[in-house]
Amino acid sequence: MKTIVLASHNAGKLKELQAMLGDSFQVRSIAEFSSEVAEETGLSFIENAILKARHAARITGLPALADDSGLAVDFLGGAPGIHSARYSGSGDDAANNSKLLAALTDVPDAQRGAQFVCALALVRHAEDPLPIVCEGLWRGRILHTAQGKHGFGYDPLFWVEEHNCSSAELKPELKNSISHRALAMQQFRQRLGL
């Protein structure tokens, strides 16, 4: 299983996951095979990751890794949650960030706690009865204004207390070692004995 397909059209995720996996696998994007997007009908990050992995394996015939991730804000009862990528309806990072800031208008820092969540699912084939599932959580809080130029998605709004900056101000190498995706990937590598 040297080649796996990533069940995502997101170039940012592909780059991050390939960097985290190093030479262990060649990671190819589902975009190389199809523009069809899996229907995310699950109610959790884990359910959606498994659905996406099975869909990618079915299309490509290759083992498939899916990442379902997003931001869960405490004050908003876990929203945007599994709808993080489409929170504003447009799927545009700037629009999603604007909607989040509007939803948190006048909410004090002490109530702006949040976590990035990443669920990884690997299926060896589309009907794999025992997917490998790993999850990472990265705690922080939501800023009042965007800061930083790195990363993607909600990174400019996610304050990382231990580094005294936003996720978008972290060097990519550092982010790739401490983020929700990095934590899930550490579990994933352990499960595969890498």
Domain range spanning residue 124? 3-192
Report the catalytic residues: 68
Tally of domains within the chain? 1
CATH code where residue 67 lies? 3.90.950.10
Is residue 16's pLDDT more than 80? Answer: no
SS3 111: helix
Looking at the chain, the number of H-run helices and the number of E-run strands are: 5, 7
Predicted model pTM:
0.87
Which residues touch 106 (CB under 8 Å, ≥6 apart)? none
Instruction: List the structure tokens of 87.
Output: 């929170």
**Per-residue pLDDT tens for 149-175?**
988 899 999 999 999 999 999 998 899
**Per-residue pLDDT tens for 85-129?**
999 998 799 999 999 999 999 999 999 999 999 999 999 999 999
Q: Residue 36 is which amino acid?
A: E
In degrees rounded to 5, what are phi and psi of residue 27? Answer: -105, 120
